[in-house]
Chains A and B, each alone.
Chain A
């Protein structure tokens, strides 16, 4: 399949990227790893007239500990994040989820900035951002995760606004991510991530709505002293997942409870 014609502009600075996006009009888009965008373009679901390739912009790929925060550059590739020693020590949940995205070839190209800006609720990173209250730093502003994931593929980013960095709390404690998928390389049919943070637990849900979600009822139950299995009973509260080809909505709700219980028990909650 061949994408529609477009103009590919390769830039070497953020300023140049913003300028080219502004000049290119409302439908111009950023090209980073391209492993969501290019497949969409090949299917002609996306027909941007201008693509601004930011892969050669320096200093956008890094993982840095900054006091009690971990700053991750938007262009950091999934493969690099999975192996990064700072991430593995101070935010291991992020390395763990990065290593479960797609397959090795996809992970060599895909970026966390692209994944977050694309806001596919079936992806892992939006959920990890939301459950950890990560902040998204763009060329114009800093946006809280709670204000960022507005809907499927919908964020407040303007077409000429670029995500530069994601700031997480350092979270070296117990954690787990269980991804339920039919194939090794697949998107999650659904997933549950848990992270011990401060004196409580954060529980995030993947692909159970149009946006990433937190299992607030589970978090509250744990805070009130419930055991992992008791708290997991609440995991499906408020969820209205769409049925999938191989999973009814009821089955997804059941899986959510089971995986939440396993994730919490596995992480020692």
Chain B
């Protein structure tokens, strides 16, 4: 069955034709052309496909595009302002929080969601709070470091102290 789905993707309203079975991740990559969201395990484990739908972090490989009708969808591409990276992206870049980079967009989207819930997480809260994302390269140590740095940067830009 085909649907005309109307969504707002990264602030831009779109109307597209999708099949019932079209996954949100494939819609974003193949129809909208935003390839920053990655297909990793395809079994809802690795989180490389993490996006934000109506303010909540969601695995885009486990949702149908048609379910995003009327929703506000944000992908990794929504974060940077031109050449200026957002604080979470910058923290990952500065703290070697990636190697191959395949998991990174998912980690950054999940990190944003984590820091909205918990602006000052401990290391174990970071590890648990990101347990929907897997990395095969880094061993997670620099990811945790990047998230701590991002928390610090966000707190400073909000004028509070951690």
Contact = CB atoms under 8 A, between A and B. Distances in A.
A115 to B, nearest CB: 14
B56 A185 contact: no
The bracket for how many chain A residues form the interface is 20 to 34
B91 interface: no
A103 B1 CA distance: 31
A4 interface: yes
A108 B42 contact: no
B154 interface: no
A108 B56 contact: yes
Contacts of A34: 62-64, 67
Interface string B106-118: 0000100110000
B72 interface: no
B3 A104 contact: no
A38 interface: yes
B42 A104 contact: no
A58 interface: no
Interface string A178-195: 000001110000000000
B21 A5 contact: yes
17 contacts: A6-B1, A7-B1, A7-B20, A8-B1, A8-B66, A38-B64, A39-B43, A102-B132, A104-B57, A104-B114, A104-B132, A105-B47, A105-B57, A106-B44, A185-B45, A185-B131, A185-B132
A108 B129 CA distance: 13
Contacts of B64: 8, 34, 38
Contacts of B133: 103
B94 interface: no
A105 B63 CA distance: 11
Q: Chain B: interface secondary structure?
A: mixed
Interface string A149-179: 0000000000000000000000000000000
Interface of A: 1-8, 10, 34-35, 38-39, 41-43, 51, 53, 55, 79, 102-106, 108-109, 183-185
B67 A106 contact: no
- Closest 7 A-B residue pairs measured CB to CB? A103-B132, A8-B20, A184-B131, A7-B1, A105-B132, A108-B56, A3-B21
Interface string B12-23: 000000011101
Of the candidates A38, A41, A103, A105, the one having the most CB atoms from chain B within 10 angstroms of its own CB is: A105
A53 B67 contact: yes
Contacts of A3: 21
B146 interface: no
B129 A104 contact: yes
Interface in B33-67: 42-45, 47, 50, 56-59, 61-64, 66-67
Contacts of A6: 1, 20-21
A8 B3 CA distance: 9
B128 interface: yes
A6 B132 CA distance: 28
Nearest to A109: B58
